[in-house]
Structure 1
Amino acid sequence: MPQNTRGTSARGESMNLTDSARAIDALRSAVQSKNDERVAHAAMMNIWPLYSVHAAELVEAVEGLPSPVLERYPVLRILHRMTPVLARTSRPFKPLIYPDDARNMSPDELDIFTLVQMVAFRLSGDVAAAMIYARRLQDRIVEIRVESRERPDGPLWFYHQQIGSTLLAAGETAAALLEFTTARDLGRLSPQADAERMALGRTALAHAVRGSLDDAESTLDEIALLPQVTHAHAASTMMTERCARALLAVDQMAPEAGALLSRLETYDSIELTWPFALLARTRHLLALQHPDDAVEAVSLAHDAHPDQHGSFATDVINAVSIEALWSIGDTTSARRLADSSARSGVLSRMAIIRHALLESRLDTAAAGLRQMSAARSLGPGQRAEATLLSAWLECALTDGIAAETAAQVARIASRPGKRRLISTMPLQLIERVRERLSPEDAVAFSALTGGLDSADHPRRPALTASEIRVLHALPLHATTAEIAAALYVSPNTIKSQLRSLYRKLGCSTRDDAISIASRLRLLNTETSNRP
């Protein structure tokens, strides 16, 4: 629940943000006094050097304080290991501040409190509100000069690290990368042993999500040269790096993907990285044609966390659900979710376009692709996916593709990190690309796409609107003439459309067409069941 603070320090006393020796002496002296209020005050007034150098003692001291004391020190409550657990279940932690208290705080205290508000709202699942405090802290850094921020041993690198993490949680990966770059540059100067590695780990994860696989791999290579992370930040740092590696392996469809995924956090994790782990796992499951397992994974993760309003987590859940529900045959739920997710993030919008193509709603797909083309923050992987979806649309509209389109698809296929994306394309498109390439390029393209058929989802062929009408008429009318009369066109037109329909379905008879269309869920249930 929202908590108000009535001040965090005695008036006239300045917060210590640099002297770790003085900080730990003050905390130990307070602990020895067995005075809870004194312990809380010493911890609060020395919060940054304690967190940076003596994290274990700080957390132990905080967890020894009774709840009534912690209620008056919300900055300390964020350090309690029970806070994130309770925040995602029964007790959202959303500290507020009275205007009078804010006026009595020093700039350092306001920085710290704004940081805590950002992290607290993020832990409680309200990423949209966390973004408000992230912007507020960004503004303070730019507009208000504070001496402690200008010191190498100050907290500025951590502010940028946490702002970037909030942007990452919101799916704003491009903006997050800028914050992580600043955090890394400052971290190199900081005496905090983990500063640079923490920033690099989140950088690698952001690149992996954006599909900048080369950048992600080079960043992970840099991390390998750094010292081992200390205990205080081991869990979050190692899980961030593991998520980045797993996403890379899944996109590359590498043999080690399964082993890497097994090392990720569970679905009910409280780490910031849980939606990224969910994305890696579900992408892998869908590539293996296990949509039921993907639906179960999403359900478990969703039930274990509060609704993540305005978050990357919601984007992942919606996008995976649309594709997985369609793949298991629950087209009604997939369509309902696609219709309700139009304002979601990039992943959901891509899934909506894909779903529209699968259902031959080509106008919807075209409108979605136009919107995506106007987006400036897409990563390389997302731009590649948009290009492939555009090629799919072109193939569906014309039953063929231009040579330039074929060349674009072939270039994407030549990148090892795009194998998963290529595997999601319909075989019809792959065949049309091969037909439009030169003999030499076609051989190379076949080698690149070889072995992907077994990992490809069984895709429905892309039918035109006229072909769909004819298909739905087949179970209802016995002859071509009856279909022509029902659709108000000539029998020759129906014959032409039937030839095209049979070719796309890979059959030559009416009964086979109905059977294949039913299996691929191209026919409405009520239509296919009619005599």
Structure 2
Amino acid sequence: MTDPEPCRVIAYVGPSTADSAADRYWTRIFDSVRRCIDIDASRTSRGFAALRTALSTADTPVTLVLDGTRLDEDVAEGIGTLLADEPTLRIVVATRTTSSAGAGMPSDTRILTSADLAFTVDETTAYLRDAGVPQERWVVERIVHRTGGLPAVIGRLPTALSSAPIPGATELEHLDRIVDAVIDSVTARTIKNEPLLAHLLRPVLMSAMTDSLTCASLAESGVDAPTFVTTLESLGLVESVPGSPARAYPDAVRRSLLRRAVADLPAEPTRTYLVVPGAVDRGSDSAALLGQVVALRKEGRFAEAASICDDLASRAVSSSGTPETTVVSDAAFCFQAGLTYFFAVRPHEAMGMLRRARSAGAGTPVGEDAAAVLGLMHALRGEGPEARAALSTDRSPRRHHRNNARLAHTAEQIAAALLAIDRLESDVALDILVDIEASTAPNELWALTLYAQGSLALLTHTPMDGLRRIKAEIRKHPELHAGYNAVLVNAIRADLELALGDFDRARNLVADSTHLFTAPVHARMRLLTGDPAGSEALVHHYGTDPNCTPRQAMELAVLGAAAACALGRDTEARPHLDRAIALSQQTGLLRPFTMVSPLMARHLGSLGVDLPTAAEPTALDTATYPKSKPVVRLTPRERAVLDGLIAGRSARTIAKVEFVSVNTVKTQLRSLYRKLGVNSGKDAVIAARHLMLD
């Protein structure tokens, strides 16, 4: 790399600390200059006056690079004096603190703001390409929009993108999760590494709930407000507001802090609220925006609705007026935001918001509605005890004219149906779902209704009926087939196609999805199409993901056991099965034991492990996946023996037809039984009829 200033001496001075006095700062600058140019070693003065003399006597032009400078009036005045003294002197100042001191700078001073330093789309494109992770234009545009072009975040993206590539334009939510994770990591590390903030996480998170940050807004926080604000500014966490002494968090940083606040801070209905949507008397347009959120969500435009919720969440207001009104308003926003985040594939934020809604709206209809939807989400995740606890909360009689009454009632019905399906109680689930139609259910629950109906179709071995219903609904409401709706619907459609033996259609439905919800489908498809090693690899990859829900973890554990058995490694299958049993005991889930082919279920039952349900007969009775491509390869001799058994021949007759001894046929039979996981010729014939043998 060529020297950008080949005819100049560059003296670098690192960031100044929060308590650095101006005289000590000039001493540091003088020491840096002295190391670069010849200065009389006997000189004892090392302050500002000595620096002026040294620069005036230097033989080579000097460039001072002052990084992380606290630009107070004394420092700004000194910089102006140095520039006036020496026309050849250049000073590059990097500072995050702003003040009126800049007015004293020379007229040709150029000040670069955070907007100037932010990465543009073209700059981000070039940077990612040079870092070895080139991205399509739409991906880069989304990244810059999501991050605001913050250099600290862009700089860490190559590592994240290299380990989690973006599969396609339909995966906006997947890209947002990657970017948000990087922003969260940078923000958390910045706060943790600053001693002045390490023990003030709560005030930091609370301060992100305001439009702007001033000493007055921090008056009740218990912190040293001037030092707190200055520290945040020096770290680049907040920036100045034009025309105001206030500071504000960049949007990306604020969203990150709010995500952490939702997860870490309990609801505090007596102090501060994220937003009061109905407070029109305060001159707020929040009510109209919240109505827009609901409208967008019903149209399936979940990402847009979530973006508005992010904006609303940043408009914190302090509680005033009647506490009851404020609590209900806060609960209403959190309830709507929770629903929106769920369908925008932001499950952790969704659960956090709904918990806040339930807490803030305790004893009110909104709180009851939040409890109902929380119960449904727990049921979807396979968290039976939590779902039942949420649904058993005492409720006052619902007023049917309320807009959300039907939504909450339907949510409770779907949750109850899912719990029954997970316990293999098909009759109970059928009685519940017979009164629910996706077309008449609230739009927010359209996909969840289809998911429950499809799950029941799998359990009652009527996959064709389930597929017809789902396809008809997608034709009626294509706009709703987006976001998490698409993830749910495509996952259950793929499982229904697998049950019908149409592996290609199943593969096409989930080919582009990397969402954890589809991980068991991918693993099951590999297993059913004769690739147990590929299935096992997926189980190992997804099974250790900390974001795995109990349902996904248990399904993957069962599939891992089945894959190990198919590979002839029964010893390795038992730990997988032990994990599945433990999860079943914790959650009450039984259905994952039936989500394999009958032959695989029979093999699992032969491992000598006490299952919480009779998995083998249950799977054989329901025949969820009656067809599969071979997971074993038969030799020509074994295939001939199997054909003989299917034709009803005895071992002696097979030996005569194949011109071999009876003992040879018996040896081939033992090998055939082992590969098929059976113990008799009759069972071998049954197993063969469930396989699509080459």
Q: Report the TM-score, using the length of structure 1 for normalisation.
A: 0.63
CA distance in 1, matches of 2:536, 2:595: 18
Kindly indicate whether residue 491 of structure 2 is the aligned counterpart of residue 324 of structure 1.
Answer: no
| Aligned partners of 2:632 and 2:675 also within 8 Å | no
Name 1:183's counterpart in structure 2.
357
CA distance in 1, matches of 2:584, 2:544: 24
Distance 1:328 1:426, change over 3 A: closer
Q: How do 1:428-507 residues align onto structure 2 when only pairs under 5 Å count?
A: 428-437=599-608, 442=610, 445=612, 451-460=618-627, 463-464=630-631, 466-467=633-634, 499=672, 503-504=676-677
Name 1:198's counterpart in structure 2.
369
Name 1:156's counterpart in structure 2.
330
| Aligned partners of 1:242 and 1:263 also within 8 Å | no
Residue 120 of structure 1: which of 295, 299, 311 is its match?
295
Name 1:424's counterpart in structure 2.
595
Name 1:368's counterpart in structure 2.
538
- Deviation of residue 152 (structure 1)? 3.1
Name 1:242's counterpart in structure 2.
413
Distance 1:499 1:521, change over 3 A: closer
CA distance in 1, matches of 2:638, 2:441: 47
CA distance in 2, matches of 1:117, 1:302: 24
Q: How do 1:91-102 residues align onto structure 2 when only pairs under 5 Å count?
A: none
Deviations 1:214-252 (A, max 9, x none): 111111111x44333442132112111111111111111
Name 2:470's counterpart in structure 1.
298
Q: Secondary structure at the match of 1:398?
A: coil
> What is the letter of the counterpart of residue 249 of structure 1?
A
Q: Secondary structure at the match of 2:443?
A: coil
Residue 556 of structure 2: which of 374, 380, 386 is its match?
386
Distance 1:390 1:329, change over 3 A: closer
> What is the letter of the counterpart of residue 472 of structure 2?
L
Q: How do 1:25-64 residues align onto structure 2 when only pairs under 5 Å count?
A: none
CA distance in 2, matches of 1:120, 1:469: 63
- Deviation of residue 337 (structure 1)? 2.5
> What is the letter of the counterpart of residue 236 of structure 1?
L
Which consecutive unaligned segments of at least 5 residues does structure 2 have? 1-279, 643-663
Distance 1:258 1:496, change over 3 A: closer
| Aligned partners of 1:173 and 1:206 also within 8 Å | no
Distance 1:495 1:399, change over 3 A: farther
Name 1:69's counterpart in structure 2.
none
| Aligned partners of 1:391 and 1:401 also within 8 Å | no
Distance 1:405 1:349, change over 3 A: closer
Q: Report the TM-score, using the length of structure 2 for normalisation.
A: 0.50
| Aligned partners of 2:596 and 2:625 also within 8 Å | no
Name 1:252's counterpart in structure 2.
423
Name 1:289's counterpart in structure 2.
461
| Aligned partners of 2:466 and 2:496 also within 8 Å | yes
- Deviation of residue 355 (structure 1)? 1.0
Identity between Structure 1 and Structure 2 (%)? 19
CA distance in 2, matches of 1:185, 1:289: 41
- Deviation of residue 458 (structure 1)? 4.3
| Aligned partners of 2:526 and 2:532 also within 8 Å | yes
Name 1:212's counterpart in structure 2.
383
| Aligned partners of 2:598 and 2:616 also within 8 Å | no
- Structure 1 stretch displaced more, 496-505 or 266-275: 496-505
| Aligned partners of 1:329 and 1:521 also within 8 Å | no
| Aligned partners of 2:594 and 2:601 also within 8 Å | no
| Aligned partners of 1:288 and 1:455 also within 8 Å | yes
Name 2:35's counterpart in structure 1.
none
| Aligned partners of 2:383 and 2:587 also within 8 Å | no
- Structure 1 stretch displaced more, 365-374 or 114-123: 365-374
Q: How do 1:214-233 residues align onto structure 2 when only pairs under 5 Å count?
A: 214-222=385-393, 224-232=394-402, 233=404
Kindly indicate whether residue 578 of structure 2 is the aligned counterpart of residue 407 of structure 1.
Answer: yes
- Deviation of residue 399 (structure 1)? 4.9
> What is the letter of the counterpart of residue 380 of structure 2?
V
Distance 1:495 1:450, change over 3 A: closer
Name 1:168's counterpart in structure 2.
342
Which consecutive unaligned segments of at least 5 residues does structure 1 have? 1-104, 476-490
Deviations 1:227-280 (A, max 9, x none): 334421321121111111111111112231111111223346443112111111
| Aligned partners of 1:121 and 1:127 also within 8 Å | yes
Name 1:40's counterpart in structure 2.
none
> What is the letter of the counterpart of residue 396 of structure 1?
A
Name 1:276's counterpart in structure 2.
448
CA distance in 2, matches of 1:320, 1:468: 36
Distance 1:516 1:429, change over 3 A: closer
CA distance in 1, matches of 2:321, 2:311: 16
CA distance in 2, matches of 1:201, 1:468: 56
CA distance in 2, matches of 1:448, 1:496: 26
Residue 529 of structure 2: which of 341, 359, 364 is its match?
359
Deviations 1:168-208 (A, max 9, x none): 2234433322111101111127xxx4122111111111111
- Deviation of residue 211 (structure 1)? 0.7
Distance 1:291 1:498, change over 3 A: same
CA distance in 2, matches of 1:174, 1:304: 31
- Deviation of residue 432 (structure 1)? 4.2
| Aligned partners of 1:413 and 1:448 also within 8 Å | no
Q: Secondary structure at the match of 1:357?
A: helix
| Aligned partners of 1:165 and 1:176 also within 8 Å | yes
Residue 312 of structure 2: which of 124, 132, 137 is its match?
137
> What is the letter of the counterpart of residue 554 of structure 2?
A
| Aligned partners of 1:176 and 1:206 also within 8 Å | no
- Deviation of residue 332 (structure 1)? 2.5
Q: Secondary structure at the match of 2:361?
A: helix
**Number of aligned residue pairs:** 390
CA distance in 2, matches of 1:468, 1:108: 80
Deviations 1:139-193 (A, max 9, x none): x14xx4355699430321111000101122234433322111101111127xxx4
| Aligned partners of 1:198 and 1:237 also within 8 Å | yes
> What is the letter of the counterpart of residue 330 of structure 2?
L
CA distance in 1, matches of 2:603, 2:305: 47
| Aligned partners of 1:164 and 1:176 also within 8 Å | yes
CA RMSD in angstroms, aligned pairs only: 3.9
Distance 1:267 1:389, change over 3 A: farther
- Deviation of residue 137 (structure 1)? 2.3
| Aligned partners of 1:289 and 1:455 also within 8 Å | yes
Name 1:29's counterpart in structure 2.
none
CA distance in 2, matches of 1:294, 1:128: 28
Name 2:547's counterpart in structure 1.
377
CA distance in 1, matches of 2:628, 2:635: 11
Q: Which has the higher contact order (CA 8 A, sep 6+)?
A: 1
| Aligned partners of 2:423 and 2:589 also within 8 Å | yes
Name 1:27's counterpart in structure 2.
none
Q: Secondary structure at the match of 2:478?
A: coil
> What is the letter of the counterpart of residue 415 of structure 2?
A
| Aligned partners of 1:251 and 1:417 also within 8 Å | yes
Distance 1:324 1:499, change over 3 A: same
Structure 1 or 2: more helix by fraction: 1
| Aligned partners of 1:201 and 1:220 also within 8 Å | yes
CA distance in 2, matches of 1:329, 1:107: 60
CA distance in 2, matches of 1:234, 1:246: 19
